[in-house]
Structure 1
Amino acid sequence: MVKNISLVRAAYVIDYISVMRDGGAQVEGLLAESLLPTNIEFVPQLFVSFPIALNWVAKAGHEQNPMELGLRASEHVATSSFYSLYQEIVGSTPSGIKRLEALLMAMRQEDRTLKLSVVKSHKSFEIKFNLLHREHRYICFQEWVLLQTIISVMRSIKGQSWCPDAMCFASHIRPPKAVVEKFPGTRILIRCSHTSITILRKDLVDTFGKVGASGLELNAFLPSKVVYREALGGDLVDFVRTLVKPYLGEALFRVETVAEIIGISKRTLQRSLHANDSSYSQILREARFELASDYLSKGSIKITDVAMTLGYQRVQNFSRDFRKQTGMTPSQYRKKNEPAPG
């Protein structure tokens, strides 16, 4: 049985692509040779395999120190992908402990494999992350994204010079001098059993007041739906449907490729889908319908572009299949689902 299959939003991989492209990496050719969707930069809201993304970033950025690459890309994430997705959640909270709580809640929903805990002492709060793939050689890429988002929120209140008391990495890769100089006074530890960031209680008192500094309770977080799957369990159909969505525009995305991404044989995957009353062709139809419905609800996207994004060479074929599924043409569906005028 295959376990520990996890997904990551494509937006985070795109931020790494941007940083590596700026550094001269030939990412287009490397994407074409990988198991990542070649159109990944056009589907930031969709999900891709986390282990495959991690390995690809390591290969594409091999000429850069992983710790330095992770920091540079995480700074990009903190100012773009994360806040473009969750700025309303975090930005709508008052300056105070609730902003940090909202951030952690948003992080847990964005990366639903995360296990979070907060360890309090008389001196500090240590926010700990137990990562699904913490033994991976290049887990520092994920670690930097997690830590930098917290640093960014603290700096939005304390100022851009704020630094944490300590950062712990599960990664075995030693940070270069350029990284250490970015965080004067911060203890940076590697080869740890967990990933964490320590915030001094005095910083919370200065920022949030005495009442706020006694907060930061994880039980205040809203429950989040789990995207982490056991690949051969009852949620296999949902997992595969989520996995195939960014690849729908690629004509030759076959069941063999999905099996390779998951790490099982084609026959095992097909038998497991059948045991769950589904098939690969049915999952493709469902995934196309779900994405088509989402895109058509956004009036700014042309129907022709929707069809091409979903892998149709002719818009007439897309219209025919969509009508079979819904009883309406794409134009009729869009009109029916237009938001009421304000």
Structure 2
Amino acid sequence: MAEIPLTRGQHIILFWEMLGKIGAPTESLLEKHKLPALLYGKEDAYLPIKNSIHFVETAARAQGITDCGWEIAKLYTVEHLTYGTRLQMANAPTLFQALRVACLRTRFEATNSKMWLEFHKSSLRVCTHLQGTAGHHHLEYPQWIQNILPIEIVRHFVGRRWAPETMAFEARYVPGLSVQALWPATRFLAAEKSSWIDVPVEYLGLTPINKERDDNTDLESALENPNSLIHSLRLLLPAYIDGKTPSLRDIADMANTSTRSLQRLLAEAGMGYRDILNTVRFEKAAHLLKETDIKITDIAMSMGYSSAAHFTRAFQNVAGVPPFKFRLFHRISAWKDVGLAESGK
């Protein structure tokens, strides 16, 4: 039996709200396209993609809105993702991990969405595809959102002004000149096998910019929500990294809770205890790679790994690049910053 491709109501609500602000009628148009006449509170409900695209196209044409996909996409931020996706992304230690979360969670945004990562020369290509939509018109609307999502994720780690060198669409579509003018550093491609953007590999090991932390969170009170729990563990565990680390049962005892309750809270955030241990090890190793000249083998041993090869595999799984490249990228970036500072004197 064929599946019905569905999208989260949040994506249609963005356009629906935009129409409301210009006084455009929507109720009859939604009903005409067999969609709910009222969308209030239906951000996490699912709607048929085909009908949704037809609604957007009809309304955009009636209101004279050009490049409608962009008009919707520019309203889109990471805050519009599902709660579960935001929770897991908030705990991603690096850009690479955040993009992997997006890939794993993409079907919660659209049931026929596929998102994957490919290394391409000196970049990581973030690809998306809506399965079962061959022959559909105006797929540039959802494809704009598909491309904006990884761009927004990258900006959380690189800065708000970042833009990809290339943005590709599956649809036979290229943005109008007025939209292209807003993306002066970006080349647009049409009729590709998937929608995609390229992210420089040297960005993959970056940590979030200005991530707010409450260093006063204690382990027991942190059990009230998964994010606080993970944060408190990331404060606690560095003290044990160079020796014997506490077991999950030990942590549960410290928090005055059961092992099962602890596992449930971690699962809610999409993480296991070993994931958090690996994150803490990565953060310590990243600091040593950036700030010291300690040999990679010695760093591996100090982190409790049995070999440099084991450490390299674990580090690359988090950062997307091996330790020696991570150190090299950081040194090059630091040299560039010094050069810019000196040239500004």
TM-score by length of 1: 0.56
- Give the Å deviation of 1:25: 2.7
Report if aligned partners of 2:96, 2:320 keep a CA contact under 8 Å in 1: yes
Give the match for residue 73 of structure 2.
74
Give the match for residue 142 of structure 1.
142
Give the match for residue 306 of structure 2.
none
Distance in 1 separating the partners of 2:86 and 2:115: 21
Report if aligned partners of 1:78, 1:145 keep a CA contact under 8 Å in 2: no
1:14 equivalent to 2:6? Answer no
Residue type at the aligned position of 2:321 = S
Does the residue aligned with 1:61 lie in a helix, a strand or coil? helix
1:214 equivalent to 2:213? Answer no
Deviations 1:177-229, CA, capped at 9 Å, x for gaps: 232122222111112222111112233356697941338xxxxxxxxxxxxxx
C-alpha change, 1:25 and 1:160, in structure 2 (3 Å) is same
- Give the Å deviation of 1:28: 2.7
Deviations 1:42-95, CA, capped at 9 Å, x for gaps: 3222111111111111101114455x3212212323254216563212112224
Distance in 1 separating the partners of 2:207 and 2:83: 24
Give the match for residue 3 of structure 1.
2
Greater relative contact order structure (CA < 8 Å, 6+ sep)? 1
Query: Looking at CA atoms only, which structure, 1 or 2, has the larger radius of gyration?
Result: 2
Task: Name structure 2 gaps, 5 residues minimum.
Answer: 209-285, 287-314, 323-345
Deviations 1:286-339, CA, capped at 9 Å, x for gaps: xxxxxxxxxxxxxxxxxxxxxxxxxxxxxxxxxxxxxxxxxxxxxxxxxxxxxx
Task: Name structure 1 gaps, 5 residues minimum.
Answer: 216-342
1:26 equivalent to 2:25? Answer yes
1:115 equivalent to 2:114? Answer yes
- Give the Å deviation of 1:36: 0.4
C-alpha change, 1:203 and 1:165, in structure 2 (3 Å) is farther
Distance in 2 separating the partners of 1:28 and 1:80: 26
Distance in 2 separating the partners of 1:161 and 1:81: 20
C-alpha change, 1:11 and 1:169, in structure 2 (3 Å) is same
Kindly report which structure 2 residues correspond to 1:229-248, keeping only aligned pairs within 5 A, or say none.
none
Report if aligned partners of 1:122, 1:201 keep a CA contact under 8 Å in 2: no
Does the residue aligned with 2:127 lie in a helix, a strand or coil? strand
Distance in 1 separating the partners of 2:203 and 2:64: 34
Does the residue aligned with 2:198 lie in a helix, a strand or coil? strand
Give the match for residue 189 of structure 1.
189
Residue type at the aligned position of 2:154 = M
1:93 equivalent to 2:92? Answer yes
Report if aligned partners of 1:166, 1:186 keep a CA contact under 8 Å in 2: yes
Report if aligned partners of 2:94, 2:205 keep a CA contact under 8 Å in 1: no
Deviations 1:27-50, CA, capped at 9 Å, x for gaps: 233224331011222322211111
Distance in 2 separating the partners of 1:80 and 1:116: 19
Give the match for residue 168 of structure 1.
168
Distance in 1 separating the partners of 2:151 and 2:84: 17
Does the residue aligned with 1:38 lie in a helix, a strand or coil? coil
Distance in 2 separating the partners of 1:77 and 1:85: 17
Does the residue aligned with 1:144 lie in a helix, a strand or coil? helix
Distance in 2 separating the partners of 1:6 and 1:158: 33
Count of aligned positions: 213
TM-score by length of 2: 0.56
C-alpha change, 1:158 and 1:94, in structure 2 (3 Å) is same
C-alpha change, 1:73 and 1:131, in structure 2 (3 Å) is same
Report if aligned partners of 2:33, 2:54 keep a CA contact under 8 Å in 1: no
Does the residue aligned with 1:112 lie in a helix, a strand or coil? coil
Distance in 1 separating the partners of 2:82 and 2:75: 10
Residue type at the aligned position of 1:48 = L
4+ runs deviating over 3 angstroms? 63-66, 205-211
C-alpha change, 1:85 and 1:181, in structure 2 (3 Å) is farther
